[in-house]
Structure 1
């Protein structure tokens, strides 16, 4: 199985994984020099495959590369910031 391609949709402030007719998403909001990851969603039929984790790790790597202060109001993303 090939690695899914994560698209960064900067205008919508989100990362997207295109799946068979569906999308897994990680939404964020930039304010000044900080970024808040506030929502993750994976369609039910694609859950349990590590897709949300891939999105979160990708998003956090991007935020760190931009030198943003990281925060997460999404409970799932919070697990990666501990």
Structure 2
């Protein structure tokens, strides 16, 4: 399911979003002084365990990499995703590295 998700960056709501069967899954973001703060991710219960959260994380982190931003993962899901996927760890802002055990 996650491979074909049409994730959009909604600049008005400051969220990466995907709309599924009338519901919205999203990862909130705040752009601030060369960093992307990721405070919260929501996946409706009907879509949990189907890779939707991971797809949102990849979209947000991919945007950060593409735009030369560091990442401040406040969201426990995003922080866990980064810990489990070393290919994204270089994006983590220095002030958050110890918090994530990096």
- Determine if the TM-score, normalized by the shorter chain, exceeds 0.5: yes
Q: Take 1:11 and 1:68, find their aligned partners in 2: how far apart are those partners?
A: 19
- Pick the structure with more strand per residue: 1
- Pick the structure with more helix per residue: 2
Q: How does 1:1-82 map to 2 (within 5 A)?
A: 3-82=4-83
TM-score calculated relative to the size of structure 2: 0.75
List, as ranges, runs of 4+ consecutive aligned residues in structure 1 with deviation greater than 3 Å.
none
**Which residue of structure 1 lines up, in the alignment, with residue 91 of structure 2?**
none
Deviation at 1:69, TM superposition (A): 1.2
Gaps of 5+ in 2: 84-102
Alignment RMSD, CA only?
1.4
**How many pairs were matched up?**
82
SS at 2:59 equivalent: helix
Gaps of 5+ in 1: none
SS at 1:54 equivalent: helix
